[in-house]
């Protein structure tokens, strides 16, 4: 999961056409959930939402990398795989992204009591940097960003789908 940072870097240096403004929130949320929540708070592992998250992410990545692998190996991808690549989000997104309200937001919410109790990743004052940070409150802030961010990402993905499928139809 940590290697996903490379996707952001690839966008920054122009190796891929994906805009960083779309890639950063997607990769950032995955890294936050993987490292900030699941790895940091093992108490969350047994929750059913973890299973839903892993299944949704796995389906997404299997389709995505199959599509890119076919394009790299053969110079094209079958139309059914193109359609899956740009359409499965419409089912999976409500369970993962907009369902951030359901799965990702749910996992953050489940971890909040453990964050508060452990004070993990908190920096209290006074300290030599004269700076304070509380992971619990930063996580609550992230919840506030997820809600308005989800419709924006969904709309972006719909536009990408329309463009990719129209381009394939014209070819």
**Domain presence at residue 12:** no
**Domain presence at residue 60:** yes
Q: Give per-residue pLDDT as tens, 69-114.
A: 999 999 999 999 999 999 998 888 766 554 556 788 899 999 999 9
Q: SS3 for 40? A: coil
**Domain presence at residue 1:** no
**Domain range enclosing 53:** 20-169
d(CA 17, CA 20): 9
**Domain presence at residue 94:** yes
Known catalytic membership, residue 102 = no
In this prediction, residue 18 carries a pLDDT of 78
**Domain presence at residue 15:** no
Q: Give per-residue pLDDT as tens, 3-33.
A: 788 888 888 888 777 788 888 888 888 899 9
Q: Which among 169, 165, 3, 153 is positioned nearest to 87, based on CA atoms? A: 165
**Domain presence at residue 2:** no
**Residue 92 corresponds to which tokens in the numbers above?**
């999976």
pTM score, whole prediction: 0.83
Helices 135-170 + 20-31 axis angle, to 10: 130
Known catalytic membership, residue 104 = yes
Q: How many structural domains comprise the chain?
A: 1
The catalytically annotated residue of 43, 93, 102, 146 is 93
């Amino acid at each position: 999961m940590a290697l996903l940072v490379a996707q952001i870097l690839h966008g920054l240096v122009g190796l891929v056409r994906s805009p960083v403004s779309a890639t950063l929130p997607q990769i950032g949320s995955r890294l936050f959930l993987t490292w900030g929540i699941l790895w940091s708070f093992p108490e969350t592992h047994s929750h059913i939402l973890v299973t839903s998250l892993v299944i949704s992410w796995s389906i997404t990545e299997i389709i995505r990398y199959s599509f890119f692998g076919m394009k790299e190996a053969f110079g094209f991808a079958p139309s059914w795989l193109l359609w899956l690549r740009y359409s499965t989000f419409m089912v999976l997104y409500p369970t993962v992204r907009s369902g951030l309200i359901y799965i990702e937001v749910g996992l953050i919410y489940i971890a909040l009591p453990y964050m508060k109790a452990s004070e993990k990743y908190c920096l209290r004052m006074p300290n030599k940097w004269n700076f304070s940070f509380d992971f619990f409150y930063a996580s609550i802030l992230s919840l506030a960003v997820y809600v308005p961010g989800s419709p924006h990402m969904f709309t972006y993905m719909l536009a990408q789908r329309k463009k990719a499928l129209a381009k394939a139809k014209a070819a």
